[in-house]
Structure 1
Amino acid sequence: MKKLLILSTAIGGLSLPAVAQEVNIMGWGGSYTVSQVEAYHKPYAEKTGAKVVSIDADNPATPIKAQVEAGNVSFDIASVEFADAVRFCDEGLLELIDPAILTPAPDGTPAMDDFLPDTVTDCFVPTDVYATVIAYDGARYDGKEAPATMADFFDLEAFPGKRGARKNAKVLLEMALIGDGVATADIYSMLETSEGVDRAFAKLDDIKSEMIWWEAGAQPPQLLADGEVAMTVAYNGRIFNANVSEGREFEIIWDGQVYDVEGWVVPKGAPNLETALDFIAYSTSTEPLAKAAEWISYGPPRKSSAPLVGMYQDGKTEMGPNLPTSPENMGNALFSNLEFWADRDAELNERFNAWLLQ
């Protein structure tokens, strides 16, 4: 693990209040941590005089269980995926976070009404939203009608060509039902039934002969760049990065996007609990969340943040259209249902693997 000291001295040598001590934050590293350092860590250190130590890990969730059970917790906050946060909270490995500490929106809207529904839990406060989407190469459709909806992904007649998708039932079954006209509000109740599952696989049958399967997130942009697929399921951040760093002209179909969240948790027994909670309240307020989205194409989970997001760091790319949480991209979005997949993952992937062999 790599540590980065953001600020280690008190402002002007003054005696600081109890909260302005130290906070150790474990993140994912790379551009993800850069966005948090610039939007959260540095401003918080400047505001409070606290020492903010950033620690990189391959997966910040990994050390939590071992350290808590050993009674030797060395960090205060971790950035984790929603599923890990819910599981660890159920196991008693995390501190509870009182939603009353969260900052209202600038117009006075209570925080719990400002965050996307169901994303704040007893032990978790979200920091960003990422999405699984459909993407295509704009150059391929130059002068021709381009696909625009989830239904178009499944329409080989109107939009011929290979289709790319992750080799897994999760997300793909949801997209199949959305492409078949099922309202996002009804997706999981539909998948709870054998008829709904049959309907999803029947829709996948429409494109099965043209599928190219991928397993790593770096593969979809490469499939598009090589012209191997006309459209592909992809992670929005990967598509954005290919456009801004490689000059690609990839386009995202936001219709039917399936989104998920990441955010902060505090391991049980964190050495600097008070400062950790203060940092979480600060970093998940409206303005810092908007600032983070100017460094990486993950959307802020607060509605009030969206209008404040400006340009990407290249100074020429407007971030709003590239974020899952921009209002124009959320019209037919689906929040991935953690509990559903916890209960049905093995069963549905067994069915998926059997379908692949048919």
Structure 2
Amino acid sequence: MKLKTALMLTSGAVMAASMAHAEGHMANSMTLVSWGGAYQASQVNAYSAPYQAMHDGLEVVWDESSAEAVARLRAMNEAGNITWDLVDVVAADAMRLCDEGLAMEIDHDEMLAPAPDGTPASEDFGDLIVSDCFIPQIVYSTTFGYRTDVEAWGGNTPDDICDVFDLETFPGMRSLERRPIGNMEWALMCSGVAMEDVYDVLETEEGIAQAFAMLDSIADSTIWWSAGADTPQLLADGEVVFGSTYNGRLFSLIEEQGQPVAMMWDAQVFDLDGWIIPEGLPEDRLARVLDFVRYATDTQRLADQALYISYGPARASSAPLVGQHATLGIDMAPHMPTDPANSARTFLFNYEWWADYRDDMDARFQAWLSQ
């Protein structure tokens, strides 16, 4: 009860500072942290560019360090020098940052805009608010793209996640992300573990060994990637025939660049992405961030982002507003990971599990990679 009261007092003071601002009371620059590539470009087009057009002289600096957000914010906090104003993170990282007191707790209904019909933000975002510090933006998935012109496959087309581990039917190099998330789950499923049992098994030493053994079977045929742009480039160059990455990156590669690549949706890993506000910002920077984030997460802005990339908007009220791609003129709904045709067999990422086990699993995964 004391925590809730303190939160309401804090949010009330913050909103009072935000609502009472004149332009001169807010910082005239913001450092926003994201992932680069097509995703960040969609944020610029839908959020920051129109916001800057409304605020003459405002400088917006983008930093592409979201993959390192937890470690970097820990270091900034230790040094007492928070240089970031708003950080795009996956849900599990938001949970970790919130638990460690590095992200500010949010009163979603006070700080964010309601839906056009007056529905409070907390109801509009619903279950996607998985942390008191998390401001959802998108639903996306990590899935696989594959080359459609591989002669060695003899006309076979991969349609099952376990085809990734089938080097006999689908020979060639793969690319997988240099982290345990997704890889461990897929490895267990393809070594015989039922989808609904994956996290129970992964909590055991035997389960971890089982996952690593499955990954061992393709390790010599795998390039490990760190940046979301890596797999699309590897696929385009023909250096890999199979590769995991974010579905929006593959959409760009297939639809915008016209590469001979197709999407495999089977066992795509659903995840959430959104903003956190670093704890401890000076009042003028916080006021600017709150003004921006209220604008950038309203119903129209989240729908606008889906005009540039195939990620589902996190607000229920935004979904009906998603239309055609801004430049290609194609309907975006069928390219969303949430489309019924694409989501027949999805894997639901367990945010809480990874928030609890991420540091340990990261260390074990990196140790395995170095063997």
> What range describes the TM-score normalised by the shorter chain of this pair?
0.7 to 0.9
Deviations 1:60-113 (A, max 9, x none): 758756776777767653334545543443343333211223445557765445
Deviations 1:280-306 (A, max 9, x none): 333223321121122234432334433
The range that moved more, 184-193 or 225-234, is 225-234
- Which residue number in structure 1 is paired with residue 132 of structure 2? 122
Aligned equivalents of 1:233 and 1:216: distance in 2? 11
CA contact (8 A) 2:136 2:314 kept: yes
Please state whether the residue corresponding to 2:149 is helix, strand or coil: helix
Aligned equivalents of 2:239 and 2:115: distance in 1? 45
2:102 pairs with 93, 96, 99, which one? 93
Over 3 Å counting, the alpha-carbon distance change for 1:113 and 1:154 in structure 2 is farther
Displacement after TM superposition at 1:161 (Å)? 4.0
Aligned equivalents of 1:153 and 1:107: distance in 2? 45
- Which residue number in structure 2 is paired with residue 54 of structure 1? 60
Matched, 1:172 2:177: no
Deviations 1:215-235 (A, max 9, x none): 344443344334444322233
Letter in 1 for 2:347: A
Letter in 2 for 1:92: G
The range that moved more, 145-154 or 35-44, is 35-44
- Which residue number in structure 1 is paired with residue 163 of structure 2? 152
Displacement after TM superposition at 1:322 (Å)? 3.4
Aligned equivalents of 1:327 and 1:237: distance in 2? 17
Deviations 1:269-325 (A, max 9, x none): 342445533543332233211211222344323344334322223233433343334
Aligned equivalents of 2:101 and 2:219: distance in 1? 47
Over 3 Å counting, the alpha-carbon distance change for 1:43 and 1:230 in structure 2 is closer
- Which residue number in structure 1 is paired with residue 298 of structure 2? 285
- Which residue number in structure 1 is paired with residue 31 of structure 2? 26
CA contact (8 A) 2:161 2:266 kept: yes
Letter in 2 for 1:54: V
Matched, 1:342 2:359: yes
Aligned equivalents of 2:339 and 2:164: distance in 1? 22
- Which residue number in structure 1 is paired with residue 281 of structure 2? 269
TM-score, normalised via structure 1 length: 0.75
Deviations 1:219-277 (A, max 9, x none): 43344334444322233343233234532031121222224443222232342445533
Letter in 2 for 1:333: F
Aligned equivalents of 2:252 and 2:89: distance in 1? 22
The range that moved more, 34-43 or 252-261, is 34-43
Aligned equivalents of 1:154 and 1:245: distance in 2? 29
- Which residue number in structure 1 is paired with residue 10 of structure 2? none
Displacement after TM superposition at 1:55 (Å)? 1.8
Letter in 1 for 2:275: W
**Structure whose residues are more often helix by fraction:** 2
Q: How does 1:1-358 map to 2 (within 5 A)?
A: 18-19=20-21, 21=23, 22=26, 24-27=29-32, 28=34, 31-41=38-48, 43=50, 53-59=59-65, 61=69, 76-82=85-91, 84-101=93-110, 102-105=112-115, 111-115=121-125, 117=127, 119-140=129-150, 144-180=155-191, 182-204=193-215, 207-208=217-218, 211-217=221-227, 218-267=229-278, 268-272=280-284, 273-274=286-287, 276-331=289-344, 332-335=346-349, 337-350=354-367, 352-353=368-369
Letter in 1 for 2:348: L
RMSD: 3.8
Letter in 2 for 1:39: A
The range that moved more, 71-80 or 91-100, is 71-80
CA contact (8 A) 2:172 2:221 kept: no
TM-score, normalised via structure 2 length: 0.72
Aligned equivalents of 2:258 and 2:133: distance in 1? 40
Q: Structure 1: any 5+ residue segments left out of the alignment?
A: 1-15
The percent of aligned pairs where both chains have the same amino acid is 41
Aligned equivalents of 2:150 and 2:77: distance in 1? 52
Please state whether the residue corresponding to 1:134 is helix, strand or coil: strand
Displacement after TM superposition at 1:157 (Å)? 4.7
Please state whether the residue corresponding to 2:60 is helix, strand or coil: strand
Letter in 1 for 2:210: R
Aligned equivalents of 1:325 and 1:300: distance in 2? 10
CA contact (8 A) 1:26 1:79 kept: no
CA contact (8 A) 2:179 2:365 kept: no
Letter in 1 for 2:268: Q
Over 3 Å counting, the alpha-carbon distance change for 1:18 and 1:215 in structure 2 is same
Please state whether the residue corresponding to 2:313 is helix, strand or coil: coil
Over 3 Å counting, the alpha-carbon distance change for 1:289 and 1:51 in structure 2 is farther
Letter in 2 for 1:155: D
Over 3 Å counting, the alpha-carbon distance change for 1:274 and 1:329 in structure 2 is farther
Letter in 2 for 1:26: T
Displacement after TM superposition at 1:146 (Å)? 1.7
Over 3 Å counting, the alpha-carbon distance change for 1:304 and 1:253 in structure 2 is farther
Letter in 2 for 1:137: R
